Amino acid sequence: MQIIDGKAVSASVRERIKNEIEILKNAGKETGLAVIIVGNDPASKVYVNNKKKGCAEVGINSYEYALPEETTTEELLELINKLNGDSRVDGILCQLPLPKHIDEKTVINSIAPKKDVDAFHPVNTGHIMIGDYSFLPCTPAGIIEMLKFYNIEISGKECVVIGRSNIVGKPMAMLLLHNSGTVTVCHSKTVNLAEVTRRADILVAAVGKANFVTADMVKDGAVVIDVGMNRNAEGKLCGDVDFEGVKDKCSFITPVPGGVGPMTITMLLNNTLTASKNNK
């Protein structure tokens, strides 16, 4: 069993991004990311700080807009509209979740598709569907990057994704399909889930339930990718996969923390670089 080290993969990708940003800089093109955070959600604050650190590390200028909890949808749309037209800003990221009174869908749809570095806009989602894309959602893109780094073949393999969210499950299935995997998507209504997951050569768990995937659900020699970020009963960070129970059955497995997590922000930086090149 080999552990897939997200930190190592992330470091190698960031090194490439940093070099490319440097080349753009020398050609007179600065790269900028605007990060909007509304309200005081502690988890969101941590994410935003990590994004700012990531930008600093690779040479991207980051502009933070911290808005109070009571900001209206209209006020937020006004800011996004301004950033859409700001030439210093190549990418715009609006940290989710937003406060309940703000219409999330309207906000996502108001970000110019060419600056939508989260790849949540319906235009970008459509491009991912047909395989003709500039940006990819950060977590699924990071997973593909990890599989490539470890020379794990996707083509012709049975791939099972547990979870059908718009942020991870659905785009993950699409990317595996674009890489010629045979893909099954499972969810809460799937009958005989363990029977389906046991067929998987590559199993991606994105359900958000601690230790949901147990050893009896995993095929011998499978590659197991754990997208979960949960807290167990002791308050310790853990994934969707029962790591201790499953690790001896697989050929490769991602740990939590230190697996998929580090890749997500790295792929955001990669999308910002792509936006910068496209906006040249």
pLDDT in tens, 5-32: 999 999 999 999 999 999 999 999 999 9
Q: Judge contact between 249 and 222, C-beta under 8 A.
A: yes
| Band of pLDDT at residue 232, cut at 50, 70 and 90 | confident
Question: Average pLDDT, stretch 36-62?
Answer: 94
Q: Is residue 206 part of a domain?
A: yes
As a whole number of angstroms, the distance between CA 147 and CA 203 comes to: 12
Interacting residues of 20 by C-beta distance below 8 A, sequence separation 6+: 273, 277
As a whole number of angstroms, the distance between CA 264 and CA 220 comes to: 28
- Specify the pTM: 0.95
As a whole number of angstroms, the distance between CA 139 and CA 43 comes to: 17
Q: Is residue 49 part of a domain?
A: yes
Structural domain boundaries enclosing 54: 28-112
Mean residue pLDDT of the chain comes to: 96
91 and 147 belong to one structural domain? no
The reply to whether 45 belongs to the active site is no
Each residue's pLDDT tens digit, 124-158: 999 999 999 999 999 999 999 999 999 999 999 99
CATH of the domain at 99: 3.40.50.10860
Q: Is residue 279 part of a domain?
A: no
Query: Is the confidence at residue 235, as pLDDT, over 90?
Result: no
Q: Using the Cα atoms of residue 96, residue 97, residue 99 and residue 101 in order, give the sign of their dihedral.
A: positive
Give first-to-last CA distance, the chain, whole Å. 44
Q: Which of 90, 95, 115, 157 is catalytic?
A: 95
Closest CA to 137 of 17, 11, 267, 257: 267
Q: Buried (b) or exposed (e) across 253-270, using 16+ Cβ within 10 A?
A: bbbbebbbbbbbbbbbbb
Structural domains in the chain (count): 2
DSSP states of 130-199 as a string?
Answer: HT--S---HHHHHHHHHHHHTT---TT-EEEEE---TTTHHHHHHHHHHTT-EEEEE-TT-TTHHHHHTT
Query: Is the confidence at residue 223, as pLDDT, over 80?
Result: yes
Q: Is residue 280 part of a domain?
A: no
240 and 152 belong to one structural domain? yes
Q: Which of 90, 115, 116, 118 is catalytic?
A: 118
Q: What is the DSSP letter of 234?
A: T
The reply to whether 95 belongs to the active site is yes
Among residues 76, 95, 112, the one where a domain terminates is 112
66 and 173 belong to one structural domain? no
Task: State residue 184 phi and psi, 5-degree precision.
Answer: -120, 135
